[in-house]
């Protein structure tokens, strides 16, 4: 016998998709139950966005202090290089995660959401049994939101275990690996690879494509490539990881671009070749729901092929980003409450927290050309931005590039690369969502001295009358 709960809405998964759906549903007066097997906040809060950004921050500070001790900077000298206690850094990072976990639990409670801890297994599309530490609970609901998220992809020749780790283990390391090999030069590989390099590890990145971060255009990634080179990260592009080498020393066997096969000694091999939707182990196959490739198929309201079963976040496809999951979650709650909503954003911002950071919102000029749209483009370098120079952030060839329709000046996309520019992503996406034109941005007074002036200047440049360039 198991306890039974009947609810109007059942949300499975307490990540940024599921917990936002549940809070919004609770706010709208919907009787809601949320099931989460691990800690609230999902991959993003517990082993993704937040811990990785905390580690990146700590690594940047350690690196700056190390450089200052070595060479002095800005008139500052340090008598000794700093020392690192990685276990203590991880405890500091865990403290941030813990505070946010508590916050999510409090927000769910405030919204009147019942949280059931345990792993949900569905017997049909509207019924699941949750097994946790207490007695099993069977939950039935009129509406079900699937927000089960994603998991790291393993390479067949490099299964996780021992020295071969995923981002989850990397974010919990207690000792710094002396030599770290990263397989996959995408988001996670480069964000964490940079952090571990700055903490003092020797880092090699093995990327199968011809260049790192292949989803961004080359001018955007070039400053990152140069920065990795300056930091002493070895980047092997066009290279394949073949498996762990046999022998006494732990090493990864790699086929380089020229065909040469050689071992790369490594204390840890971090595999970051993508993530895939988590569809196994919870009865998805019993729900009779259509798939779209590896993902759950949904329409523009996140409805699955089964009536009143909805799916959101990493489960339903690219981009696999926290803010997309949350936006879909809030939308589904509102549709269930009777609002008229569709998932049709003008753009979903993508930010890569490398050094320098990359932001991309909307279309590049090449993507617009593929759609037959003629564009006007304006690019402004941070080298000509007073704030960037005064923050010692103008030397990395960063820029803001604005792409607009040639006929009416309406913004189509904004791309940028530079230190600290993740915080500009809100301004870029707001401009696109509001349907702004080049003139709208050009006629908006931007505060001086700020990095945002580079956005302003890029629109002036596209209009043909840049002031500071
Ligand atoms: P998830 O966050 O994966 O949450 C799903 C939850 O469902 C999990 O907590 C899981 O335990 C639970 N669950 C699954 N099945 C069941 C079940 N049967 N019963 C009970 N519970 C279940 N995105 C960004 O936007 N910005 C970033 O900077 C960023 N950095 C990242 C860094 C790393 C290292 C990683 C790994 C990811 C990063 N991401 C980032 C991606 C981001 O974490 C995901 O896009 C986001 O977490 C997806 O949210 P979700 O709600 O769909 O799923
Ligand atoms: P990714 O898709 O960003 O990068 C994977 C990289 O691995 C690609 O460059 C690919 O060419 C390469 N690759 C694939 N197979 C390979 C092989 N056999 N050998 C060598 N290289 C190979 O994937 P990820 O870094 O694992 O991140 C997963 C997802 O998590 C991202 O797509 C993103 O949605 C999300 N994420 C976002 C952020 C952020 O928003 N800042 C940060 C981290 C993760």
Centre of ligand 1 from the C-alpha of residue 413, in Å: 27
Atom of ligand 1 nearest to the CA of 53: 28
pLDDT of residue 246: 87
Question: In sequence order, what DSSP letters do the residues of 226-274 get, joined into one string?
Answer: HHHHHHT-EEEET-EEEEEPPSSS-EEEEE-TTS-EEEEE-SEEEE-S-
Atom of ligand 1 nearest to the CA of 42: 9
Helix-, strand-, coil-residue percentages of the chain, each rounded to 5: 35, 25, 40
DSSP letter assigned to residue 364: -
Q: pLDDT tens for residues 247-264?
A: 889 999 999 999 999 999
- Ligand 1 lined by 137 (C-beta under 6 Å): no
The mean per-residue pLDDT over the stretch 268-289 comes to 97
Residue 86: pLDDT band with limits 50, 70, 90: very high
- CATH 3.30.390.30 in the chain is located at 350-462
| Cα distance between residue 137 and residue 134, in whole Å | 9
pLDDT of residue 248: 84
pLDDT of residue 2: 76
| CATH fit for domain 164-273, picks 3.40.50.720, 1.10.287.110, 3.50.50.60, 3.30.70.360 | 3.50.50.60
Write the CA distances from 249 to 72, 162, 239, 244, integer angstroms. Answer: 38, 13, 21, 10
pLDDT at 1 > cutoff 70: no
Q: What percent of the chain has pLDDT over 90?
A: 97
At 7, list the tokens: 């609810």
- Ligand 1 lined by 189 (C-beta under 6 Å): no
Q: Give the architecture-level CATH label for domain 350-462.
A: 2-Layer Sandwich (3.30)
Which positions are annotated as active-site residues?
448
Q: pLDDT tens for residues 178-193?
A: 999 999 999 999 999 9
- CATH 3.50.50.60 in the chain is located at 3-45+91-151+276-336, 164-273
Contacts of 430 (CB under 8 A, 6+ apart): none
- Gyration radius from the chain CA atoms: 24
- Whether the CB-CB separation of 448 and 386 falls below 8 Å is answered with yes
- Ligand 2 surroundings by CB, under 6 angstroms: 155, 183-189, 191, 206-209, 214, 240-241, 272-275, 319-321, 351-353
pLDDT at 125 > cutoff 80: yes
- Whether the CB-CB separation of 330 and 19 falls below 8 Å is answered with no
- Ligand 1 lined by 276 (C-beta under 6 Å): no
Q: pLDDT tens for residues 324-373?
A: 999 999 999 999 999 999 999 999 999 999 999 999 999 999 999 999 99
- Whether the CB-CB separation of 140 and 267 falls below 8 Å is answered with no
DSSP letter assigned to residue 210: S
Kindly identify the ligand whose nearest atom is closest to the C-alpha of 221. Answer: 2
Q: Give the architecture-level CATH label for domain 3-45+91-151+276-336.
A: 3-Layer(bba) Sandwich (3.50)
Residue 61: pLDDT band with limits 50, 70, 90: very high
Q: pLDDT tens for residues 198-226?
A: 999 999 999 999 999 999 999 999 999 99
CA dihedral 311, 312, 315, 316 (to 10 degrees): 90
pLDDT at 287 > cutoff 80: yes
Within 309-404, where are the H helices?
Answer: 322-336, 365-370, 386-390
Q: What is the mean pLDDT of the chain?
A: 97
Centre of ligand 1 from the C-alpha of residue 318, in Å: 13
Atom of ligand 2 nearest to the CA of 322: 40
Q: pLDDT tens for residues 393-431?
A: 877 789 999 999 999 999 999 999 999 999 999 999 999
Whole-model pTM: value is 0.97
- Whether the CB-CB separation of 213 and 224 falls below 8 Å is answered with yes
């Amino acid at each position: 016998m198991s306890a039974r709960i009947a609810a109007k809405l059942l949300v499975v998964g307490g990540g940024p998709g599921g917990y936002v759906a549940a809070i919004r549903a609770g706010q709208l007066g919907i009787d809601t139950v949320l099931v989460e097997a691990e800690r609230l906040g999902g991959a993003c809060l517990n082993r993704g966005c937040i811990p990785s950004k905390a580690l990146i921050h700590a690594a940047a500070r350690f690196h700056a202090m190390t450089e200052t001790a070595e060479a002095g900077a800005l008139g500052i000298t340090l008598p000794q290089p700093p020392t690192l206690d990685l276990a203590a850094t991880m405890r500091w990072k865990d403290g941030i995660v813990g505070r946010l976990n508590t916050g999510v639990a409090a927000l769910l409670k405030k919204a009147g959401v019942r949280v059931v801890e345990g792993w949900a297994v569905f017997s049909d599309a509207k019924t699941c049994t949750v097994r946790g530490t207490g007695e099993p609970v069977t939950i039935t609901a009129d509406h079900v939101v699937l927000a089960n998220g994603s998991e790291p992809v393993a390479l067949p020749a490099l299964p996780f275990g021992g020295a071969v780790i995923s981002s989850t283990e990397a974010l919990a390391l207690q000792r710094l690996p002396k030599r770290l090999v990263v397989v996959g030069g995408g988001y996670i590989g480069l964000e964490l690879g940079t952090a571990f390099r700055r903490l003092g590890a020797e880092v090699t990145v093995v990327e199968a494509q011809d260049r790192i971060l292949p989803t961004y255009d080359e001018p955007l990634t070039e400053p990152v490539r140069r920065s990795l080179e300056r930091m002493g990260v070895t980047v092997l592009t066009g290279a394949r990881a073949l498996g762990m080498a046999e022998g006494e020393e732990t090493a990864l066997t790699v086929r380089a671009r020229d065909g040469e096969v050689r071992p790369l000694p490594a204390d840890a091999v971090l595999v970051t070749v993508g993530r895939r939707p988590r569809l196994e182990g919870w009865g998805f196959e019993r729900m009779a729901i259509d798939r779209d490739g590896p993902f759950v198929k949904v329409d523009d309201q996140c409805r699955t092929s089964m009536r009143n079963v909805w799916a959101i976040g990493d489960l339903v496809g690219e981009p696999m980003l926290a803010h997309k999951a949350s936006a879909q979650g809030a939308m589904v709650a509102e549709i269930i409450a009777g609002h008229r909503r569709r998932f049709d954003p003008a753009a979903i911002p993508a930010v890569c927290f490398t050094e320098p950071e990359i932001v991309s919102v909307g279309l590049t000029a090449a993507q617009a050309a593929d759609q037959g749209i003629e564009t006007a483009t304006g690019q402004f370098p941070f080298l000509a931005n007073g704030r960037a120079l005064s923050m010692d952030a103008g030397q990395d060839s960063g820029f803001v590039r604005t792409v607009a329709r040639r006929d009416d000046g309406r913004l189509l996309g904004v791309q940028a690369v530079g230190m600290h520019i993740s915080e500009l992503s809100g301004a870029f996406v707001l401009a696109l969502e509001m349907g702004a034109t080049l003139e709208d941005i050009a006629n908006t007074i931007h505060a001086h001295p700020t990095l945002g002036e580079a956005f302003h200047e890029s629109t002036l440049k596209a209009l043909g009358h840049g002031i500071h360039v």
